[in-house]
Structure 1
Amino acid sequence: MHQIKRTGVKRFYFATKYSMQGIKAAWQEEPAFRYEVCAVVVMLPAAFWLAQSGIQLALLLACCFLVLAFEIVNSAIEAVVDRWGPEYHELAGRAKDMGSAAVFMMLNMTWVVWAGVAWDNGYLDFVKALF
């Protein structure tokens, strides 16, 4: 079957439409994505409060949105593996574990960046006093 290749504004429109469908599916089907969106809703205003420069704000916001992006990719990997078949296979398990590990690493990077910004801005002076 020949697929029609869209160009220009139509391509942008349909790419945006499909992206929104993916976000909607992640929200409806993935509890972890919903939890992370709720955390981002709290963290967005906190980022504007905590950041003292545009670079700091960009880092704080980028971490938040990267966690969501990693969660969507992890969910996509899991969906493809589950679609392939319900039986256990070592490679399928490894793929799922690696997707989960990517989200875990991004979550860890997020708290490290947030703690680093808080440290630089003097919000963790009580910790500095301990050292």
Structure 2
Amino acid sequence: MTPRSDAEFEAERIGSPGRARRVDVRRTLYSFRHAGRGFAWALSSQANLRVHLLIAFVVLVAALFFRFTAIEFVGLVLCFAVVIAAELINTTLEVLIDYAWPEHHPMIGRAKDVAAAAVLVAAGAAALVGALLFARHVFHLS
């Protein structure tokens, strides 16, 4: 018996290219449940996440008031999604670091600071995009 190549093994594992893989709906729903539970925990424990969501809500309501175009609205939603995702990743890193290394270490502090800086960069970029979009409507720029 000859050994199978990696390509043959992979083709057998995922099925033939012409055959669609069956989606396990229960498994997918289970994944969504875990994600929802994680988001709920982050929302209940992270004040900054609540602040970002409140700002997003206020800005999106203001965008409706100023009659933003669909593409402008999508731009705002994408900016907020990036900020929220960065905040969730930052929270994940902080929780993992605090669990793995409960004692303080300068390098751990630096890692946490860098993760927080990623959120700051995302929030700053979102604020700039929002300011430019609102300036167009407030000052009637074309």
Same structural fold, with TM-score higher than 0.5 when normalized by the shorter chain: yes
**Could you tell me how far apart the structure 1 residues matched to 2:66 and 2:81 are?**
17
Question: Under a length normalisation based on structure 1, what TM-score does the superposition of the two structures give?
Answer: 0.80
Q: Is the 8 A contact 2:60 2:73 kept in 1?
A: no
Q: What is the CA deviation profile of residues 38-66 of structure 1, one whole-angstrom value per residue up to 9, with x for unaligned ones?
A: 22221221233345322211111111222
Q: Is it true that 1:55 corresponds to 2:71 in the alignment?
A: yes
Q: Is it true that 1:39 corresponds to 2:65 in the alignment?
A: no
Identity, % of aligned positions: 26
Q: Is the 8 A contact 2:97 2:108 kept in 1?
A: yes
- Structure-to-structure mapping, 1:37-116, within 5 angstroms: 37-50=53-66, 52-116=68-132
Counterpart for residue 34 of structure 2: 18
**Could you tell me how far apart the structure 1 residues matched to 2:48 and 2:86 are?**
11
**Could you tell me how far apart the structure 2 residues matched to 1:105 and 1:124 are?**
26
**Could you tell me how far apart the structure 2 residues matched to 1:32 and 1:106 are?**
13
- Once the two structures are overlaid, the 10-residue window that deviates more, 70-79 or 43-52, is 43-52
**Could you tell me how far apart the structure 2 residues matched to 1:20 and 1:39 are?**
21
Cα offset for 1:37?
Answer: 1.8
- Higher helix proportion: 1
**Structure 1 residues 41 and 67, CA gap change in structure 2 (3 angstroms):** same
Q: Is the 8 A contact 1:47 1:61 kept in 2?
A: no
Equivalent residue letter for 1:124: F
**Could you tell me how far apart the structure 2 residues matched to 1:113 and 1:58 are?**
12
Equivalent residue letter for 1:92: I
**Could you tell me how far apart the structure 2 residues matched to 1:95 and 1:51 are?**
41
After superposition, the CA RMSD in angstroms is 1.9
Counterpart for residue 3 of structure 1: none
- Higher Cα Rg: structure 1 or 2? 2
